[in-house]
Amino acid sequence: MDPLFDFTGKVVLVTGGSRGLGYAMVKGFAERGADVIIASRKLENCEKVADEVRALGRRALPFSAHCGRWADCDALTEAAYDTFGRVDVLVNNAGMSPACPSHEMPESLFDSVVNLNFKGPFRLASQIGWRMSQGEGGSIINISSTGALMALPGVVPYGAAKAALNAMTVSLAAEYAPKVRVNTISAGPFRTDATKGWDEEGVSKMKLPAGRLGQPPEIVAAALMLASPGSGFTTGGLLRVDGGQR
């Protein structure tokens, strides 16, 4: 195994890790030696993924958490440290982007979107980032969206929350330096469970230079790179994995 991508003995926490991009990243890290904490709302789904990780010879902790709630984020953090003693890599991946006209959006839906896409990631990154800074350091990777960088009518709170996530990345990278690196992956449209209903006409209207949606495994290389010691001089950065979407 390339030593730059050997995560043997490392502990990786992935939110939204039971499906889609999160699942791909869980498997990507586990296949390269990492022990993994899989967090999502449904424990049963987390346990299935944990079984796959254990089949690779790695340790796994499935954990049910609503990652938009501080209490759940704190419980997840405590469980991770109680079980493994540390977290080396945090991937803030959980998110939601329900479509709703801005003038019709209820406060409860607005709060849910902002909580899951920004408030929860802030809580996890701040609590785990602080612990990392007091120990051997680590890497935090925030999964954002091109929706933070371009007009996204119909899902305005989602794009705004992801823009806040991008800004958070830059500030936390400075706050917990030099031991902790914090970076963003700005993901474009990927073919996941959430997009399985998209038709080809809708995809073509996105005018993606790549000519297609991304596949979940294609985000893994970006996450591995940002988590690797080989990217030790990369922090506060934003890496676009979006098929050229502008």
Which residues are CB-contacts of 201 (< 8 A; sequence separation ≥ 6)? none
Q: What pLDDT score was predicted for residue 196?
A: 61
Dist CA 234 CA 56 (whole Å): 30
Task: Give the model's pLDDT for residue 3.
Answer: 85
Whether residue 204 is predicted with pLDDT greater than 70 in this model: the reply is no
Q: Pick the catalytic residue: 23, 81, 158, 176? A: 158
Domain ranges of the chain: 3-241
Compute the radius of gyration of the chain from its Cα atoms: 17
Cα 218 from chain centroid (whole Å): 14
Three-state SS annotation for 105-174: CCHHHHHHHHHHHHHHHHHHHHHHHHHHHHCCCEEEEEEEEHHHCCCCCCCHHHHHHHHHHHHHHHHHHH
Span 210-236, average pLDDT: 91
For the stretch 3-12, pLDDT in tens is: 889 999 999 9
Instruction: Report the amino acid identity of residue 47.
Output: E
pLDDT above 70 (res 201) = no
Residue 170 pLDDT:
98
Q: Could you give the CA distance from residue 237 to residue 16 in angstroms, rounded to a whole number?
A: 22
**Which has the higher per-residue pLDDT, 217 or 32?**
32
Average predicted confidence (pLDDT) for the chain: 93
Give 1's pLDDT tier (boundaries 50, 70, 90).
Answer: confident
For residue 78, what are the contacts with CB-CB under 8 A and spacing of at least 6?
Answer: none
Domain 3-241 has CATH 3.40.50.2020: no
- Going across the sheet that includes 238-241, the strands are 60-64, 35-40, 11-15, 89-92, 138-145, 180-187, 238-241
Stretch 200-216: mean pLDDT? 71
Active site residue 81: no
Per-residue pLDDT band at 191 (split at 50, 70, 90): confident
User: Would you give the DSSP letter of residue 190?
Assistant: B
Token pair of 1 as six digits: 């195994």
- Residues 31 and 50: their CA atoms lie apart, in Å, by 13
> Model confidence over 58-114: pLDDT tens digits?
999 999 999 999 999 999 999 999 999 999 999 999 999 889 999 999 999 999 999
Could you check whether the bond before residue 229 is cis, i.e. omega within 30 degrees of 0?
Answer: no
pTM for this prediction:
0.94
Amino acid at 8: T
Confidence of residue 235 (pLDDT cuts 50, 70, 90): very high
- Render pLDDT for 113-168 as a digit per residue (tens, 0 to 9): 999 999 999 999 999 999 999 999 999 999 999 888 888 889 999 999 999 999 99
